[in-house]
Structures are given as structure tokens and as C-alpha cells.
Structure 1
Amino acid sequence: MLIVGAGLSGIGAAHHLQSAFPRRSYTILEARDCIGGTWDLFRYPGVRSDSDMQTLGYRFRPWKQAKAIADGPAILEYVRDTATEAGIDRHIRYGHRVTRAAWSTREARWTIDAVHDGRPVRFTANFLYLCTGYYRYDAGYTPELPGIEQFGGSVIHPQQWPSDLDYAGKRIVVIGSGATAVTLVPALAEQAAHVTMLQRSPTYILSLPAEDAIANALRRTIGDRAGYVVTRWKNIGVSTLIYRLSRRRPQMIRSFIRKAAIRRLPDGYAVDTHFAPRYQPWDQRLCLAPDGDLFASIKAGRASIVTDRIAGFSETGIRLESGAELDADVIVTATGLRLLVFGAIRLQVDEREVKLPETMAYKGMMLSGVPNFAYTIGYTNASWTLKADLVSEYIVRLLRYMDRHGYDQCVPVNDDPTVTERPLLDFDAGYVLRSVHEFPKAGSRQPWQMGMSYAHDLVKLRHGRIDDGAMRFSRLERR
């Protein structure tokens, strides 16, 4: 087995694999020089999860800290401790960027090409498992901002946050209204002279306690592991309920979020200007404000929101279409991610290039026509790790099935002409819409649908049939 990526998904996959198959060898190739993936890459002030750690944490390793909405360094420590305690770190090859993976049906084997210290390196494996995430690590997304070169201060994208930036006492404008902006603004406001969040249109922002009182009480009374299980299911149930109500009764959820914002903002604040999105709840991901930190910064006068469009830039700030000007010493372009399918690894099957948009995703984790291959893409409406754990559990079941029946190869085959194509990521966020055409397709029915329901996936991936008719198995011809 070869796993690509030593972030949250890759470490979890390795843990599931070695727990189930202690005698099976595996290697993790990591392009960077350390464990952690997203949680090591992002270093901007206040970086944190927008999911609770009872569901972002691994199923097999309870989260024991008091804060449920954890900061980046705490999550990174959790991932690294998981790897160290299980000895997974000894299986990682750092600084190995995979460029190509070629499958041979005749040999039932992958040949994986990577680059290490500028030199080509080759590996072989009987199963390839990509845990690369789905966005570019080298650069985030910045839209065209004509004239920004006229600005005399610093321009920073959060994905490349400079460690030596001194923003104390500075005027900062954060362009954007997504999760990164909502995280940055209150964190920067602790030291900056003032922080302005400049948004073209509002985002749904929901305040939640940073600490889960029920989770902490359960840990004290029934122990870490049992308390973790109960809290995990409690949080899955609550988040599922909010999502379903958002889709079925959006006006009710809109009203709930609006009233919650009003309670935390100054009297008379223009809530419908700055906190009333044009889209429905969960057309895009909800943003979290732990303990209402963003609202508190606004109420204290340390931060403000401006809803307007950029007309241009000057040496001292930003000119808006309304005619107003925002003075700034620092501009932060919290304008999103750039997606990257499978880390830009070229896939081949029997010397034929795999064109990803022509493939169909099987159970949201394998590709039609690509043997002995899996990948992890987490939920857009819930914690990433909920799906990552289920995918790993399914791969363990699949490998056991193959071992039991003496199979060397498994491959999903879509030969049902009634299955129609759907987007793999059916989500209206800008970063998805810009790149979803480069991804594999989902299908209109099982097992080709991309599920976004943990409860449904739990049944399907943990308990569903392995030999379901779409998955085909074969053995090598022995000489």
C-alpha cells in the first residue's frame, strides 16, 4: 500500500490500515517536510477549525482538550501525536512529490514516480491511496484586483502569511467574507489599530461556544472514550438537523441566524446590509464565530464590516464604488482557495492516460476504470474526518474481502447507461465552481452518487456489500 499525503486524512488512513493489517507494509509519501498538511501549512493569526473536534477528530482517538472549536496549533499537535504514538511517522518519506502513477493490469501493480531533492524516485505498490486534499498548497486564489500595485503597504494572502509581519497598531483591510476572513478579523483586531472586513456580499455566520459544556461534563463523568463517542453522535445529530432544516425550511434558519446576530451586535446595527446573504443557508458552508468573537470585535469598535465593491486602489488604501475610501497599512486578500485534483498526479492505466472528468466516482472514494485505487474527499456540509474515517474503514473491508477470496485486483465499472452525470462537488462556493469541471463526475444513482450524509454513508461504507455488482474483481494468472 502506498499512501500519498501525511495530513489529517493520510495519518488516519495509515492508522486504520496498520491496525487491521499489522503485517502489511505501507509507505506514506509527503511532498512537504513535515506532518500536518493543512494544519501545518496555514499559519495566519487565529487559524482554527470551523468544525468541532469531536467530529473533526479521529473516531479511534478521543479529543481530550476542553476547547471543541480548536486552533490550528492544537489540531496539528493532535495529528502529530497520533502519528508518533502509533509509529506511523516511521513510514513517512518526506519531501517526495508524486508526479505520476501508472497501473499495470498484467502485474496488478502501481508504479509511482516522485521527485525528491530534485531527483526522480520510483516506488511500486499493489494499492494506491491518495490523501492529498483538494486544493493547491503553493498558492491561494486571488481575483483580478486592477491597480493594487499602486498600494504602498503590504498585500498578503493568508496562505502565505509571513511569520515576521508586525501588524500591531496598523490599519488592516481584509478582503473576503468566508471562513478565513471571519477567523482573521477578530484575531487581528486584538493588536491592530482597526480591522475592516470588506465584502462584496454577506455570509451566514453562526456563533457557537468554543467549549462544549456537555462534552466536558461527559468526559469527567464517564471517561474520555465513552464521553467522546456520545458527544460525537450528539454533534453529528445537531449538525445534520441544522443542515436538513436549512435545505427544507431555509427561511426559518435564516431568521434564527439573523436574530442570533442581532443579539450580539450593537443596537441599530445594519444587520440586513452586512449579515443577510442572497443565497440560502448551506448553499455555501456556514461560517463559525467561536464565542461570537467576530461580533464582539465589532461591538467593541475594534473591527467593522463594509459591504461594497472595489473601484480601485491608492497608495494609502482602497477606493470603493460607493465613493468611500478605506485607509489601510495592510491589505489581506482572504479570497479563497485554488482547487487541485489529486495533487496534480497524472494517472495511467495500462499506458493510457486517465482523463479525470471522464471518470465517475464510485461511492465518493474510487474511480471507474481505475483499479486498486482510492482517495479521500471529505464532506462539504460536515467535518472532513467523518468521511475520511469511513473511507479508510471501507478500504480495510475491501482488502480483507480480496485477501479472503484471493483477488489481486478490484475496479469499479460503470456499465449502466441509465446513470447520468452530476458534479462531484455539488456546492455553490466560488472555489468549487471555478474548478469542479476538472474533477471526476458523480452519478445519478448508487453507488455513483457523492453522498453528503454521514448516516447514509455509515450504513453504505461500514456495512454495505463489497461485491455489489459495480465492483469487479480478478486474479493474476499464475505461471
Structure 2
Amino acid sequence: MVGAGVSGIGAAHHLRDRFPERTFVVLDAQEARGGTWWTHRYPGVRSDSDLFTYGYRFKPWRGPSIAAGAEILAYLDEVIAEDDLAPHIHYRHRVTAASWSGADRRWTVEVTREDTRERLRFTADFLWMCQGYYDHATPHRPRWEGMDRYRGVVVHPQAWPEDLDHTGKRVVVIGSGATAATLVPALAGTAAHVTMLQRSPSYWFAPPRHHELAATLQQLDIPEEWTHEIMRRQYAAQVNWLARTAREAPEQLHAFLMDAMRPLLPEGTDVEKHFTPRYRPWQQRIAVVPDGDLFTTLRAGTASIVTDTVAEFTEHGIRTGSGEELEADVVVSATGFDLSVFGGVAFTVDGEPVDFTRRVTWRGIMISDVPNMAYTFGYFRHSWTLRVDLVADLVTRLFTHMRDAGAATVVPRLRPEEQDMPLRPWSDPENFNAGYVMRSQHLMFKQGDREPWTHMLEHEQEQEILPKADLADGSLVYR
């Protein structure tokens, strides 16, 4: 397995639970577990999904619905300890290449030790990619005119300096997504002032940090497993409604989100300019602001929003497209990230390099003509981890199917009637068109126009489809 974040730890749990006799190793390039929650250390870092669904199906969540990064790491530590996964996880092990040999029916994985630069080699019958979906090492950093003359500090949330002190400083946060929504309230507590500079508005949703139903269930002293399952269903149903309404009645969802937000804004706010997006609800992720903390800072005057473009950096701040100069001691470029195809690992199959742009996904879990390899990719709208459990269910069911059939290899392959199937982009812009997706479409594999060669379905669909997926329909070839 590659990756010791929520995907890799979840996959390791399911593998150990259902196949205790199998040996496995988890390789991760970082210094410790957690993936996103290890690399992201900016002020206020927290989930923007509820933890009852972001947590695993098998491990009850006991804290608030919206949790800080440190709380999520503690939760992952509990899973590692309870499943005795620590001996299987190797940190500072960066996977650089993976080569499949059909003759040996085996993967050879090339690894570089990040601390010693030692080169290692692992072999495996099956490769499970759980490394997440973006480049942890290189954030998306646009270059603006005049940055070299700016006298202040420019930071990216993905590489936050531990010694940065923003107390009493004027801060400009460029961006309006989930990271900016987290940073602005966290910085506003001690900064002189925080300005969120956005090119275009996002949709916002302000759920309570502590759900009333969870509080009621805890007062009733029912088993934690019951509370966890009830809250998972509650939150899943809520997001199912949002996703379904976004697809079937986007105007209704737009009105719902705007009406919920207006009472939280400062009096006199230009809602059309600063809070009305140019896209349909959920063509990009809805930014979560627990207890409306962002709006609280706006009402208090410790933060403000400017909707404009960056024309250039000046010595003392940023000049916007309209000519206004925003003075800043610190500029935070909350400009997102770029996708990374399977962690940038160089794949070969029987000596031939794998060009993923010419390959097709099988149910968002395997890749056409790549043997004995699965990958875990979560949801954009629902909590990522809901799909971690579903993918693990299918992969372990596949292992059982192979064992019972006496098969050593499995490879997804287009059937004769699918050879000329129209191919679609990795993400349909009409469905989801966030900046990091559009920037990286040309790097990604494709999807087809029919099952099982599609992906990015909603959880409401996949929780019915994946458990029933036919592993003997001819789309998977066994040897």
C-alpha cells in the first residue's frame, strides 16, 4: 500500500480484518501518519466534512462534528494502535517507480528513503495506491507581477512556516475556498486585520460545530456505536439531499444557501458582489464555516472581503485590478493545489511505460490494462472516507473471488463491444469544475460512457452499486 493517510490506514484495517494471514506493508513519504492532516499545519486547520462520516465505519467518532487537524490525527493514532498497524507502516519511504512483470506475476516497487537517501526495493503480488489526489510537496503557487519587490512575507498554507507570527499584522488571504474559510477566522483572532481577497465568490454553509442530535444521543447514554451510526446516516442523508437538489433543482439549492447565509452577514453587505458565485451550487465544493465563524469575524470588523483580481504586488501589499491597494505585512496564497496522478510514481507494465491519459478507470478503483493494482479515491461532495470503506469492501471481495477461482492476476480490460466506446474526461466540468481539477485534466486517466468504466458517482448511488458489482462480467480478466 502506498500512503498512510485516511485512505491507507483504512485500507490496512480492512485488509488485516478480512485477511489476517496476508503480509503487507504501507509506504509513506512523510515523516508520520495522516497525509493531509500531517502536511497541513496552518492556523485553525480542520475538517470541512463532519467527522461522523469522515471517520471510519468501523471506528466510532466521539468528538464534535467538525474537528481540528490534531483531533483527526489522534483518531488515526487510535486506529493504528488498536489494529497494531505501526509495524507495517514505513515512513520517509518515497515510492518512485512501480514495475509489473507478467512472467513473475509481481510488482517491483522502487523506494527512496527520505532521511538517508538509501534506495530500497519491495516486491508485492498486489499494489494498492492510497496516496491521495494532490501533490503534497509542491502547492499551486501563481506568480504575480511585482512579487520580487514586496517587502512582506508570502506563504502558502501547504507550507506554513512554524515560526510565522501574524500577531498584530495586516494579513491578506488570496482565495475563497475551504482553506481561506478556515484561515480567516483563525488569523483574525490576533492579527490587526485580515482581508480575504477573492477573484470570485464561493458558496458557504454554516453548520453547527456540535450537532444537536449528537448531543441528545450522548445524553441518552446509548452505546457509542449507535450514536456513530445514527449520525453517519443523518449527515449522509443531508449531503444526499444537497447533492440531489444541486443536480435536479439548482435554483432551489442556490436560494436555500443564500437565505441561510444572509442573516449572518454584516448589515449592508453587497451580497451580489461578494457572495453570489458564478457557477451552479456544487460545481465546486461548498465551503463549510462551522458556527458561521467566518461571518462572525466579518460582523466584528476584524476581517473583510474584497472581490477583485490581483493586478500586481507593491512594496507594501497588493494592488487590485480596480486600482485599490491592500496593505499587508503577510500575504497568504490560499490558491489551492495541483492533482498528482498516483503520487507521481512512474508505472511500467512488462517493460512498457504506462500512459495514464490513455487508460480508463474501472469503477474509480482500478485502471484498464494495469494488472493487480487498485486505488482509493474518495468523494468530492461527501466525506472522502465514506468511499474508503466502500472501495476496501470491493477490493477485499475481489481478493476472495481471486482466491476461490485460483487466480493470481486480475486486469480490467475493455470488452470487444467497448473498444470504440466514447471516452470522457476524468471530471465532467458540468458536474465538478474546481480550479485544481481543470488545471490537471490533461494529466488524468479517462472514463467511459457506461458502467463499469465510469466514476465520480455520488455516495447515494455507490452504496447500492459497488456492493453488488459483478466481478465476473467479463470486464475483469483473471489468470
Shift in Å, 1:394: 0.7
Pair 1:450 & 2:455 matched: yes
List aligned pairs for 1:418-437, cutoff 5 A: 418-426=420-428, 427-437=432-442
Question: For residues 155 and 36 of structure 1, what CA distance do their matches in structure 2 show?
Answer: 26
Residues 402-438 of structure 1 deviation map (CA, whole Å, 9 limit, x = unaligned): 1111110111101313522112233211111011211
| Contact 1:50 1:179 (C-alpha < 8 Å) held by counterparts | yes
Change (3 A) 1:290 1:163: same
Q: Which SS does the other structure have where 2:53 is aligned?
A: helix
After TM superposition, the score normalised by the length of structure 2 is 0.96
Shift in Å, 1:217: 2.1
Shift in Å, 1:460: 2.4
Shift in Å, 1:220: 4.1
Question: For residues 471 and 115 of structure 1, what CA distance do their matches in structure 2 show?
Answer: 33
| Contact 1:172 1:328 (C-alpha < 8 Å) held by counterparts | yes
Q: Which residue of 2 aligns with 1:477?
A: none
| Contact 1:261 1:271 (C-alpha < 8 Å) held by counterparts | no
User: Which structure 2 residue ranges, 5 or more long, are not aligned?
Assistant: none
Q: Which runs of 4 or more aligned residues in structure 1 lie more than 3 Å from their structure 2 counterparts after TM superposition?
A: none
| Contact 1:380 1:452 (C-alpha < 8 Å) held by counterparts | no
Question: For residues 215 and 422 of structure 1, what CA distance do their matches in structure 2 show?
Answer: 41
Residues 43-73 of structure 1 deviation map (CA, whole Å, 9 limit, x = unaligned): 00011111000111001101011x1011111
Shift in Å, 1:455: 2.6
Q: Which SS does the other structure have where 2:322 is aligned?
A: coil
Shift in Å, 1:215: 2.1
In the alignment, residue 153 of structure 2 is paired with which amino acid? S
Count of paired positions = 471
List aligned pairs for 1:22-37, cutoff 5 A: 22-37=20-35
After TM superposition, the score normalised by the length of structure 1 is 0.96
Match of 1:62 among 55, 60, 63: 60
Shift in Å, 1:178: 0.8
In the alignment, residue 18 of structure 1 is paired with which amino acid? R
List aligned pairs for 1:36-435, cutoff 5 A: 36-65=34-63, 67-116=64-113, 117-221=116-220, 222-415=222-415, 416-426=418-428, 427-435=432-440
Shift in Å, 1:235: 0.9
User: Which structure 1 residue ranges, 5 or more long, are not aligned?
Assistant: 475-479
Q: Which SS does the other structure have where 1:4 is aligned?
A: coil
Q: Which SS does the other structure have where 1:267 is aligned?
A: coil
Question: For residues 341 and 217 of structure 1, what CA distance do their matches in structure 2 show?
Answer: 43
Shift in Å, 1:310: 1.6
Q: Which residue of 2 aligns with 1:470?
A: 475
Question: For residues 341 and 451 of structure 2, what CA distance do their matches in structure 1 show?
Answer: 23
Question: For residues 332 and 123 of structure 1, what CA distance do their matches in structure 2 show?
Answer: 40
In the alignment, residue 89 of structure 1 is paired with which amino acid? A
What is the identity percentage for the equivalent residue pairs of Structure 1 and Structure 2?
46
| Contact 1:104 1:349 (C-alpha < 8 Å) held by counterparts | yes
**Root-mean-square deviation (Å):** 1.1
| Contact 1:219 1:228 (C-alpha < 8 Å) held by counterparts | no
In the alignment, residue 57 of structure 1 is paired with which amino acid? G
Compare the two structures and name the one with the higher strand fraction.
Answer: 1
Residues 96-154 of structure 1 deviation map (CA, whole Å, 9 limit, x = unaligned): 11111111112211111111121211111000000011111112101121111211111
Shift in Å, 1:27: 0.5
In the alignment, residue 425 of structure 2 is paired with which amino acid? P
